């Protein structure tokens, strides 16, 4: 029986995407895509998600690509523009789950630096009872160690827990540890999938 619900944040609770910033910044979606694929890549961003200070990560990347210094520094100074809204239907879903007595937890790959302002900015985070943040733990999904950290921190059992993430690798890693896991698409589909797991919504 599922007793605990654990959510990823970016792409599940909030709409985080570098394109939200860079498409407008460059005024050219193809140029923005090239920049995200080749300069401020997801692999580079993961270093900050794992706890590297943003100032250090930015300085290192500027040293490699000095011709893109202004655009690289925008990644940090205008980071909040990458988050445009809460994912539709998710605040309502969390409220419904809490009304039924389910604890709501978070497990996210996120820099501890940029996280602080966003948690104050969006109402949905006030519904989260506790969280494990990669930037604090110096661990990243899909490393099994961060899932073990989550289970230990929240004192929950894998067979009584469902984890929701938009990244398939993270979902599969959770399943490998015996955690029920769902790949997120949208709030309506998630409601149906939770009901299939006999979650009372």
Which of these, 108, 129, 128, 123, lies nearest to 48 by C-alpha position? 108
Rounded to an integer, the average pLDDT of 173-201 is 97
CB 124 within 8 A of CB 91: yes
Q: What was the pLDDT predicted at 58?
A: 98
CA distance linking residue 58 with residue 159, whole number of Å: 41
Which of these, 29, 72, 25, lies nearest to 48 by C-alpha position? 72
CB 190 within 8 A of CB 163: no
Q: Rounded to two decimals, what is the model's pTM?
A: 0.95
CA distance linking residue 147 with residue 136, whole number of Å: 14
Q: What was the pLDDT predicted at 116?
A: 86
Contacts 24+ apart (CB under 8 A), 98-103: 98/127, 100/200, 100/201, 102/3, 102/4, 102/5, 102/199, 103/3, 103/4, 103/5, 103/129, 103/130, 103/154
List, in sequence order, every residue forming a beta bridge with 182; answer none if it has no partner. 164
pLDDT digits (tens, 9 = 90+) for 7-33: 999 999 999 999 999 999 999 999 999
- What is the percentage of the chain residues whose pLDDT exceeds 70? 100
Phi-psi region of 28 (alpha: psi -120 to 50; beta: other; left: phi over 0): beta
pLDDT band at 168 (very low <50, low <70, confident <90, very high): very high
Structural tokens at position 159: 């067979």
pLDDT digits (tens, 9 = 90+) for 65-119: 999 999 999 999 999 999 999 999 999 999 999 999 999 999 999 999 998 889 9
The mean predicted confidence, pLDDT, of the chain is 97
For residue 85, report the phi and psi dihedrals to the nearest 5 degrees. Answer: -170, 170
């Amino acid at each position: 029986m599922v007793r605990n619900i654990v959510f990823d944040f970016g792409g599940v609770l909030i709409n985080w995407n570098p394109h939200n910033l860079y498409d407008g910044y460059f005024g050219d979606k193809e140029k923005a895509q090239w920049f995200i694929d080749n300069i401020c890549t997801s692999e580079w961003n993961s270093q900050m998600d794992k706890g590297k200070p943003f100032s250090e990560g930015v300085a290192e990347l500027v040293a490699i690509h000095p011709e893109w210094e202004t655009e690289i520094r925008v990644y940090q100074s205008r980071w909040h523009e990458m988050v445009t809204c809460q994912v539709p239907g998710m605040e309502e879903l969390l409220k419904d789950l809490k009304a039924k007595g389910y604890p709501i937890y978070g497990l996210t790959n996120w820099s501890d630096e940029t996280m602080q302002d966003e948690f104050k900015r969006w109402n949905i985070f006030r519904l989260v009872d506790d969280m494990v943040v990669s930037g604090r733990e110096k661990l990243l999904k899909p490393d099994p160690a961060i899932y073990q950290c989550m289970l230990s921190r929240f004192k929950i059992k894998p067979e009584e827990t469902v984890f929701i993430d938009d990244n398939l690798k993270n979902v599969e890693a959770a399943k490998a540890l015996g955690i029920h896991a769902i790949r997120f698409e949208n709030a309506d589909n998630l409601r149906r999938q939770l009901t299939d797991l006999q979650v009372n919504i």
